[in-house]
Amino acid sequence: MIWEIKPFNKLTLEQLYALLKLRQEVFVVEQTCPYLDADGLDQQAMHLWATDDEGDMVAYARLFMPTTATPYARIGRVISAGKVRGQGLGQELMRRAIAWCEQAAPNTPIRLGAQVYLRRFYQSFGFVEISAEYLEDDIPHVDMERPA
């Protein structure tokens, strides 16, 4: 696997296309959830991904620094492609995402909105629930935080 992390303005057109394609394959097509993926936040994010030996983007996450309005780092759009699930790539993705957040914003909590069925996955990285369950695009979610 080749791992990369870049801000939006450093992505090539091919990288941008690949990450949008992967996000749509999983979140829109596989989960049958039509939603506006191009939400205007990609420009503010760091983009972390893995490319396999065939040149396919197979894991991805979007990372945000804390701001005055949101005094925590945030991890979002966490994805593993179907062809690599069960191989530990999602765990490696989360380890790298957390490490980047901790380095970029030391002593800052990290939050994410987890699909409910992935609660235990995120709990294994030290995330705890901080909200009740809610529907986001008709999929049950819960907000989680990893304390600083």
Q: List the beta bridge partners of residue 142.
A: 114
Q: What topology does CATH give the domain 2-106?
A: Aminopeptidase (3.40.630)
Q: Hey, which residues does 136 pair with through a beta bridge? A: 139
List, for residues 102-147, the tens digit of each pLDDT value.
999 999 999 999 999 999 999 999 999 999 999 998 899 999 999 9
Confidence of residue 33 (pLDDT cuts 50, 70, 90): confident
Residue 32 has pLDDT above 90, yes or no: no
Tokens of 69: 């309005």
Residue 25, pLDDT > 90, answer yes
Q: Identify the DSSP state of 107.
A: T
CA distance 138 to 80: 21
- Per domain, the residue ranges of the chain are 2-106
